[in-house]
Chains A and B, each alone.
Chain A
Amino acid sequence: MRSFLAKYATALAGLGVVIWFAATAPAFASAANFTLILKETSFLAILALGFALALVTAELDLSIAEVASLAAVVCGFLVHSGYPPALAIAAGLGVGAACGLANGFAVTVLNVPSLIATLGMAAIAKGLGFMLTQGVAFVGRWPADFTGLARGNFLGVPNLLWWLILASIFAYALVKWTRTGAHLVATGEAEEASRLAGIPTKRMKRLALLLTGLFAGATAVLLAASLSSAAPNMANDHFLYAIAAVLLGMTMFEPGRPNVPGTLVAAFTLKALGNGLILSGAPYYVQDIVLGAIIVGSVALSAGALGRAAFVKRLSFRTAQ
């Protein structure tokens, strides 16, 4: 029972939140509203899964939102200018991957702590986004080939949710079932011991940060397709949500470790919470306050569950070995 609670207490609390809003918030428990929450969860969770992959190797990527915005702008610019959607999608993913690659270079070759390297990348991506758009948004009637990525359904399930399912399976299978995944985890758990055991830890960190960028690019493409527009800073609202989803996710399923099921449950819980607060008539700023409390509370819980400094060390200011 105790170990069950240690693994699922926060997930149950999330379920409690959903039930509470279903009972009290008008229109919360409708199929339409749940579909909305699930779609919102999809953007957030894909971005968050990327953040989780970097954190698996004990690196932070604080550039995810700005990189996603930049990728969306590039992708949107190409669609807007009439280039084939496939090219625009590839460019969006490519921008995300390139930023992730640059982060990996800064962290493992230049030995800049990821906290700083990715903060720098965030500023660079933001600047480039504004440079490309000159501060305005690309909005238009974009081809259905492109917007269809994020709109419509397949087998009765929203397309967005399919992308999330694919991203989740990829991340889960990579981390849990493959040698590369085992090396990513080992790098994050005990970098020096792993290096001494022959694991190329720097390469693992570069791979993780590259995937984080790629996931940010994927989020960007879906956001642009969903909104038929692209603007610098369009992904900003997802930044704290994504971090909160990963950290809250670390309190469940595999306490103390960034994990896929936890991130998914946490992302849904956070979006349901935000949605429920709005429907309950809470002022918009309540969301931010709650989010901040969840971020701090989650880390306190994880650190408490471990009873050691290891977890806190993982999140603290540090350089690659």
Chain B
Amino acid sequence: MSVLVRLGAVTKSYGAVEALRGVDLEIRAGDVLALCGDNGAGKSSLVKILSGAHAHDGGVFEIEGKAVRFASPQDALTRGIATIYQELAVAPRLSVAENVFLGSELVRTPLPFVSLLDKKRMRDEALGYLKRLGVDLGDATRPVERLSGGQRQAVAIARALRWDARVVIMDEPTAALGVAETKLVLDLIRRLKDEGRTVVLVSHNMADVVAVATRVAILKAGRKTVDRPVAGLDAAALAQMIVTGREAA
């Protein structure tokens, strides 16, 4: 599989705190890469660099062989990397359609130099993206706060589809979700994979990782210590690796 994103010896410090001490990571097209590690291992810092929220200090960050340096989330989005943050994925009081097209609204130009929001097309297309994910919401004008947790994730993922993101990073997408909702989100991840998109899944939930991920990278104290296929692993073995930071013997 071709390498979409490559990090080489990437470092990041916040004041005196060295969050990343030289991380190498390859994200290959079609992967569902699980990013695991204890709190403080550097997962969030890594995600922030990939998503354009923070710039890296040292090392190389390449997309398809070209060195990049993101100054803003917008930069990452235009380069095909969309990130879905658990708490910040959606604007709760805005509608489904407004959330799917948040930041990239559709407009029509009824007169030269006059561009107006194309609300009808946004409603229709928002439902279309959700249908592609196997979620039928029926009404795109509903505020997102009235949806279930899994449906909200679906709306956030629909936005990534709207951006036509090649890499979708999901930060703890199943945290705080019930069993049925978790299943919905895992199905969404499989749909993304089936569409040929690459997923980076940050998760504390080993069962989820085993269920959907193809590869797992484990961070410990700002370094990547494990990077291997998920096949053949169970949740207990994974948990053991995260604690020790080493592959089980």
Interface residues of A (CB under 8 A from B): 176-179, 181-183, 185-186, 189-190, 192-200, 256-257, 310
- Contact A197-B102, Cβ < 8 Å, known A177-B117, A179-B107, A179-B115: yes
A196 pairs with B73, CB closer than 8 A: yes
B4 interface residue per 8 A CB criterion = no
- Chain A residue nearest to B90 in the complex (CB): A193
Partner of A199, one of B51, B85, B103, B159: B103
B117 pairs with A179, CB closer than 8 A: yes
B94 pairs with A178, CB closer than 8 A: no
A310 pairs with B93, CB closer than 8 A: yes
19 contacts between A and B (CB under 8 A): A176-B117, A177-B117, A178-B117, A179-B105, A186-B98, A189-B91, A189-B92, A190-B93, A192-B88, A193-B89, A193-B91, A196-B83, A196-B85, A197-B103, A197-B104, A198-B77, A198-B104, A257-B93, A310-B92
Across-interface contacts of B94 in A (CB, < 8 A): 185-186, 189-190
Interface residues of B (CB under 8 A from A): 51, 53, 72-74, 77, 83, 85, 88-94, 98, 102-105, 107, 115-117, 159
* A184 → B minimal CB distance (Å): 12
Consensus secondary structure, chain B interface = loop
A194 pairs with B91, CB closer than 8 A: yes
- Contact A189-B73, Cβ < 8 Å, known A197-B103, A198-B103, A199-B102: no
The CB with the most chain A CB atoms within 10 A, among B51, B93, B94, is that of B93
- Contact A189-B116, Cβ < 8 Å, known A196-B83, A196-B85: no
A186 pairs with B103, CB closer than 8 A: yes
Consensus secondary structure, chain A interface = helix
Q: How far is the CA of A307 from the CA of B225 in the complex (A)?
A: 47
- Contact A196-B159, Cβ < 8 Å, known A179-B115, A189-B94: no
Q: How far is the CA of A210 from the CA of B116 in the complex (A)?
A: 22
Across-interface contacts of B103 in A (CB, < 8 A): 183, 186, 194, 197-199
Q: How far is the CA of A177 from the CA of B53 in the complex (A)?
A: 29
Q: How far is the CA of A144 from the CA of B87 in the complex (A)?
A: 58
* B144 → A minimal CB distance (Å): 10
* B129 → A minimal CB distance (Å): 15
Partner of B51, one of A179, A192, A196: A196
Q: How far is the CA of A7 from the CA of B115 in the complex (A)?
A: 29
A178 pairs with B92, CB closer than 8 A: no
Q: How far is the CA of A139 from the CA of B77 in the complex (A)?
A: 58
Across-interface contacts of B98 in A (CB, < 8 A): 182, 186
Across-interface contacts of B73 in A (CB, < 8 A): 195-198
Q: How far is the CA of A181 from the CA of B115 in the complex (A)?
A: 12
Partner of B92, one of A190, A196, A197: A190
Contacts A193-B85, A193-B89, A256-B93 supplied; 10 other A-B pairs, CB < 8 Å: A176-B117, A179-B117, A181-B117, A185-B94, A189-B93, A193-B91, A193-B102, A196-B51, A197-B77, A199-B103
* B123 → A minimal CB distance (Å): 14
* B139 → A minimal CB distance (Å): 15
B90 pairs with A190, CB closer than 8 A: yes
The CB with the most chain B CB atoms within 10 A, among A194, A196, A257, is that of A196
Q: How far is the CA of A12 from the CA of B104 in the complex (A)?
A: 38
Across-interface contacts of A310 in B (CB, < 8 A): 92-93
Across-interface contacts of B104 in A (CB, < 8 A): 197-198
The 9 closest A-B pairs by CB, nearest first: A190-B91, A197-B103, A198-B74, A198-B103, A197-B102, A193-B88, A199-B103, A177-B116, A189-B91
Across-interface contacts of A195 in B (CB, < 8 A): 73
Across-interface contacts of A197 in B (CB, < 8 A): 73, 77, 102-104, 159
